Amino acid sequence: MSTADLSRAETDAKHSFDRYAATFIELAAAGGTDPAPLLEYFAVPLTVATGSAHTVLTSAEQLTAGLAHELAALRDLDYGGSQALDPTVRVLNERAVTIEVSWARYDRSGAEFQRPRVFYFLARTAEGWRITTSAVLAG
Protein backbone atom coordinates (compact mmCIF):
# COMPACT_ATOMS: atom_id res chain seq x y z
CA MET A 1 0.00 0.00 0.00
CA SER A 2 1.74 3.13 -1.23
CA THR A 3 1.43 6.64 0.12
CA ALA A 4 -0.13 7.66 -3.22
CA ASP A 5 -2.80 4.94 -2.86
CA LEU A 6 -3.64 6.13 0.65
CA SER A 7 -3.76 9.74 -0.47
CA ARG A 8 -6.10 8.78 -3.31
CA ALA A 9 -8.34 6.86 -0.89
CA GLU A 10 -8.53 9.90 1.36
CA THR A 11 -9.32 12.27 -1.51
CA ASP A 12 -11.94 10.00 -3.07
CA ALA A 13 -13.68 9.15 0.21
CA LYS A 14 -13.76 12.79 1.31
CA HIS A 15 -15.16 13.83 -2.07
CA SER A 16 -17.92 11.21 -1.79
CA PHE A 17 -18.69 12.31 1.77
CA ASP A 18 -18.81 15.97 0.75
CA ARG A 19 -21.29 15.13 -2.03
CA TYR A 20 -23.42 13.22 0.48
CA ALA A 21 -23.35 16.13 2.94
CA ALA A 22 -24.29 18.68 0.29
CA THR A 23 -27.12 16.47 -0.96
CA PHE A 24 -28.42 15.86 2.56
CA ILE A 25 -28.27 19.54 3.56
CA GLU A 26 -29.99 20.69 0.36
CA LEU A 27 -32.73 18.08 0.66
CA ALA A 28 -33.35 18.66 4.37
CA ALA A 29 -33.27 22.48 4.06
CA ALA A 30 -35.92 22.28 1.35
CA GLY A 31 -38.13 20.29 3.75
CA GLY A 32 -37.84 17.15 1.63
CA THR A 33 -38.65 13.80 3.17
CA ASP A 34 -38.01 11.50 0.19
CA PRO A 35 -34.53 10.10 0.81
CA ALA A 36 -34.03 8.68 -2.71
CA PRO A 37 -31.16 11.11 -3.54
CA LEU A 38 -29.27 9.90 -0.43
CA LEU A 39 -29.46 6.15 -0.94
CA GLU A 40 -26.38 5.94 -3.17
CA TYR A 41 -24.17 7.16 -0.32
CA PHE A 42 -24.94 4.29 2.06
CA ALA A 43 -24.22 0.58 2.21
CA VAL A 44 -26.72 -1.99 3.40
CA PRO A 45 -26.40 -3.19 6.05
CA LEU A 46 -25.85 0.14 7.77
CA THR A 47 -24.99 0.29 11.47
CA VAL A 48 -26.24 3.34 13.38
CA ALA A 49 -25.42 3.99 17.03
CA THR A 50 -26.58 6.86 19.19
CA GLY A 51 -26.47 7.36 22.94
CA SER A 52 -29.89 5.75 23.21
CA ALA A 53 -29.99 3.03 20.53
CA HIS A 54 -28.03 0.73 18.26
CA THR A 55 -29.72 -0.20 14.99
CA VAL A 56 -28.63 -2.26 12.03
CA LEU A 57 -30.57 -1.44 8.87
CA THR A 58 -30.46 -4.66 6.87
CA SER A 59 -32.52 -3.74 3.82
CA ALA A 60 -32.97 -0.88 1.39
CA GLU A 61 -36.50 -0.47 2.77
CA GLN A 62 -35.20 -0.02 6.32
CA LEU A 63 -32.56 2.44 5.13
CA THR A 64 -35.18 4.42 3.22
CA ALA A 65 -37.49 4.50 6.25
CA GLY A 66 -34.67 5.54 8.59
CA LEU A 67 -33.52 8.38 6.36
CA ALA A 68 -37.12 9.53 5.78
CA HIS A 69 -37.64 9.62 9.55
CA GLU A 70 -34.50 11.75 10.05
CA LEU A 71 -35.51 14.15 7.28
CA ALA A 72 -39.04 14.51 8.71
CA ALA A 73 -37.63 15.19 12.18
CA LEU A 74 -35.42 17.97 10.80
CA ARG A 75 -38.34 19.45 8.87
CA ASP A 76 -40.32 19.52 12.11
CA LEU A 77 -37.45 21.42 13.76
CA ASP A 78 -37.63 24.09 11.01
CA TYR A 79 -34.22 23.00 9.74
CA GLY A 80 -32.51 25.54 7.52
CA GLY A 81 -29.02 24.13 7.01
CA SER A 82 -25.82 22.76 8.49
CA GLN A 83 -22.15 23.54 8.51
CA ALA A 84 -19.45 20.89 8.89
CA LEU A 85 -16.99 21.96 11.57
CA ASP A 86 -13.51 20.51 12.04
CA PRO A 87 -13.84 17.33 9.97
CA THR A 88 -11.14 14.77 10.72
CA VAL A 89 -10.37 12.18 8.03
CA ARG A 90 -8.35 9.08 8.88
CA VAL A 91 -7.33 6.58 6.23
CA LEU A 92 -7.22 3.06 7.62
CA ASN A 93 -6.27 1.44 4.33
CA GLU A 94 -7.11 1.72 0.62
CA ARG A 95 -10.71 0.62 1.24
CA ALA A 96 -11.52 2.09 4.66
CA VAL A 97 -11.70 5.68 5.87
CA THR A 98 -13.20 7.25 8.95
CA ILE A 99 -14.56 10.77 9.08
CA GLU A 100 -15.45 12.52 12.31
CA VAL A 101 -17.25 15.84 12.09
CA SER A 102 -19.28 18.25 14.20
CA TRP A 103 -22.43 19.49 12.50
CA ALA A 104 -23.67 22.96 13.41
CA ARG A 105 -27.37 22.76 12.59
CA TYR A 106 -29.38 25.93 12.03
CA ASP A 107 -33.07 26.67 11.80
CA ARG A 108 -34.54 28.80 9.03
CA SER A 109 -33.90 31.99 11.02
CA GLY A 110 -30.18 31.15 11.23
CA ALA A 111 -30.14 30.20 14.91
CA GLU A 112 -28.03 27.20 15.81
CA PHE A 113 -30.17 24.56 17.50
CA GLN A 114 -27.93 21.51 17.59
CA ARG A 115 -24.26 20.52 17.32
CA PRO A 116 -23.86 16.75 17.15
CA ARG A 117 -20.44 15.19 16.58
CA VAL A 118 -20.74 12.17 14.31
CA PHE A 119 -18.32 9.39 13.39
CA TYR A 120 -18.68 7.82 9.94
CA PHE A 121 -16.98 4.69 8.64
CA LEU A 122 -16.74 4.63 4.84
CA ALA A 123 -15.77 1.59 2.81
CA ARG A 124 -14.85 1.43 -0.85
CA THR A 125 -17.27 -1.13 -2.24
CA ALA A 126 -17.80 -2.39 -5.79
CA GLU A 127 -20.29 0.51 -6.16
CA GLY A 128 -17.85 3.12 -4.80
CA TRP A 129 -17.40 4.75 -1.40
CA ARG A 130 -20.32 4.07 0.94
CA ILE A 131 -21.11 4.98 4.55
CA THR A 132 -21.34 1.66 6.43
CA THR A 133 -21.52 2.98 9.99
CA SER A 134 -22.50 6.20 11.70
CA ALA A 135 -22.33 6.91 15.39
CA VAL A 136 -23.30 10.03 17.30
CA LEU A 137 -20.48 10.69 19.74
CA ALA A 138 -21.01 11.51 23.39
CA GLY A 139 -20.25 14.94 24.65
Distance of CA 98 to the CA centre of its chain: 11
Contact predicate 54/70, CB 8 Å: no
- Residue closest to 70 by CA, chosen among 19, 17, 134, 124: 134
Q: Is 44 exposed, middle or buried (0-12, 13-18, 19+ CB in 10 A)?
A: middle
Q: What's the rounded mean pLDDT across residues 13-33?
A: 97
pLDDT digits (tens, 9 = 90+) for 35-45: 999 999 999 99
Give the 3-state secondary structure of the chain: CCHHHHHHHHHHHHHHHHHHHHHHHHHHHCCCCCCHHHHHHEEEEEEEECCCCEEEECCHHHHHHHHHHHHHHHHHCCEEEEEEEEEEEEEEECCEEEEEEEEEEEECCCCEEECCEEEEEEEEECCEEEEEEEEECCC
pLDDT digits (tens, 9 = 90+) for 43-69: 999 999 999 999 999 999 999 999 999
Query: Rg of the chain's alpha carbons, rounded to an integer?
Result: 15
| CATH number of the structural domain spanning residue 82 | 3.10.450.50
What rounded mean pLDDT belongs to the chain? 96
Is the whole model's pTM more than 0.85, yes or no? yes
Predicted confidence at residue 1, as pLDDT, reads: 60
- Residue closest to 84 by CA, chosen among 16, 131, 18: 18
Output 5 or 111, whichever has higher pLDDT: 111
- Check the CA dihedral 124-125-126-127 and report its sign: negative
Domain, as residue range, for 45: 3-136
Predicted confidence at residue 139, as pLDDT, reads: 74
Domain count of the fold of the chain:
1
